[in-house]
Structure formats: C-alpha cells, structure tokens
Amino acid sequence: MAFISSAGAPSLDTYYREAKTLATQIRASAVTLRNNIASNTSRPSVAQYCNDTRVFYDRLIVISQLNGIAAYANNEEAGNYVIGPEFTAMTDAMLAVVNNIRTTFPSDSGTGALLERTFDANGLLVDLDFSPAQLSTLGTLLDTLIATITAPA
C-alpha cells in the first residue's frame, strides 16, 4: 500500500503558524547559546546552531514568498501591525549570526574543514571550545536577533 497524501494544500494559517513556531525555536536556541557563551562553549554546538539557524532561515524565506501570506499575517495580529519590517529585521539578524559564525569559525587552511574536535592522549575525541572572548561579537549579534523576536506569552 502506498503512503496516503493530503487532498489539499496547507492554508495560509498553517504556514503562518509554522513561521511563528520557527521564530519561537530560533529565539529559544539563541537565548540558550547566548547564555552559554559566558563560559567556554563547544565548537560543535556553535556549528550545529549555525546549521539550524540557516535551515530555519531558508524555510522562513520560502514561507514569506507565499502569495497572500503577508496580508494574512497582518490581519491575524492586533492593531496596525505590519509584519514586513519585523520579518526583515529577524531574518537579517539570523543571516548576520550565520555569517559571523561561518567567517570566524576556525578551519583547515587547505580543505576548509571545520576544526571542531581533536584526540586526547588516549585517542578519544574531545570537543574543542571557544572562549568567551572569541564569541564576543557573536554574543552581540545574538542579542540583536533575540530582540527581533517577541518572547512567547
């Protein structure tokens, strides 16, 4: 038997709820990383955060290009809310975080491979860390990103 598909396309409401859920996840993970960079932070966790943020960014851009989604979102929110500038501020901040991590992450000069782990004296893998000083610019960018997304009520 084959997989049973849906008969219709998802509604604008479905997509708008997805965008809001992604924004909530983006904010929560940014807050977690921001809190962690006060001490040494593992490079693999920063690399994973970068990847996740870029995946969420790409999905938000796809949603933003749906016909009628901006008008729908504006109508869903109270008052004279205009989603466009708020959405742009959030996605610009997401890209700034991703670009900062990509350009400052230590990598092999020959291959470009990320330098995330090493072997200890016993041959076990050990995560390499960033110091708080190495992530100071990232911290500022995370603060900006966090400020662009309202905390869930």
- Tens digit of each residue's pLDDT (9 = 90 or more) over 10-28: 789 999 999 999 999 999 9
Task: Please check whether residue 1 lies inside any domain of the structure.
Answer: no
Task: Please check whether residue 4 lies inside any domain of the structure.
Answer: no
pTM score above 0.75: yes
Task: Please check whether residue 153 lies inside any domain of the structure.
Answer: no
Instruction: Report the 10 Å Cβ neighbour count for 134.
Output: 17
Average pLDDT for 24-53: 94
- Look at the chain and report how many structural domains it folds into: 1
What are the CA-CA distances from residue 111 to residues 5, 44, 124 (Å)?
Answer: 43, 18, 23
- pLDDT classification of 7: cutoffs 50, 70, 90: low
Task: Please check whether residue 6 lies inside any domain of the structure.
Answer: no
Task: Please check whether residue 97 lies inside any domain of the structure.
Answer: yes
- pLDDT classification of 68: cutoffs 50, 70, 90: very high
Using a CB cutoff of 8 Å and minimum separation of 24, what contacts does 14-18 make? 15/63, 15/66, 15/69, 16/63, 16/69, 16/72, 16/73, 16/76, 18/59, 18/63
Domain span holding position 134: 12-107+114-147
